[in-house]
Amino acid sequence: MRPRFSLSIFAALILSLSALARDVPNFSGEWKMNVAKSDFGTTPAPELLTRVIKHSDPSLEITTHQKGARGEATTELKYTTDGKPAVNKVQGRDAKGTARWEGGTLVIESWLEVQPGMEIKGREVWTLAGRTLTIRNHFSVPQQGEFETTLVFEKQ
């Protein structure tokens, strides 16, 4: 005798699995970096770092404003969280990257060619706990090596 799968049980299983697949954080909001809780390693911390994030999965838009010893800069980046390649302009150059979910964690990998054959590579891992967004970064910079930072943002 072969076991039989009830259509209603199968449908309930599919619905519960798709609900789990959508159970990812929403990063939308205005965020301000907490300098005291962040770690910049050997690099100088900016005076101010804010992000405005518009997140309607899979669409992700990030506007970052930074102020520090080298002046002020604003960047606008757009990704989709399904791993499809994205191209953004950063300081007049094409920055390529992808964003994808690993469980409830968002991973953004990006690379920027600074001169022919030389790329800056970055990997960001985003986690959300309540009103705190933590972004762990790993960078690879030609002729400077690799370094890591941790940015802690608080929702405004």
Evaluate if residue 100 carries a pLDDT over 70.
yes
51-54 contacts at long range (C-beta below 8 A, 24 or more positions apart): 51/153, 53/27, 53/28, 53/29, 54/28
Max mean pLDDT among 101-105, 116-120, 141-145 falls in 101-105
Work out the percent of the chain whose per-residue pLDDT is above 70: 86
Lowest mean per-residue pLDDT among 26-40, 52-66, 109-123: 109-123
**pLDDT for the residue 7:** 43
Work out the percent of the chain whose per-residue pLDDT is above 90: 75
**pLDDT for the residue 144:** 87
Quick one: average pLDDT of 36-43?
A: 93
Domains of the chain: 26-155 (2.40.128.20)
Quick one: average pLDDT of 64-84?
A: 96
Encoding tokens for residue 39? 């770690």
Nearest Cα to 154, choosing from 131, 124, 122? 131
Quick one: average pLDDT of 136-147?
A: 93
Residues counted in the chain: 156
Nearest-angstrom CA–CA distance, 61 and 55? 6
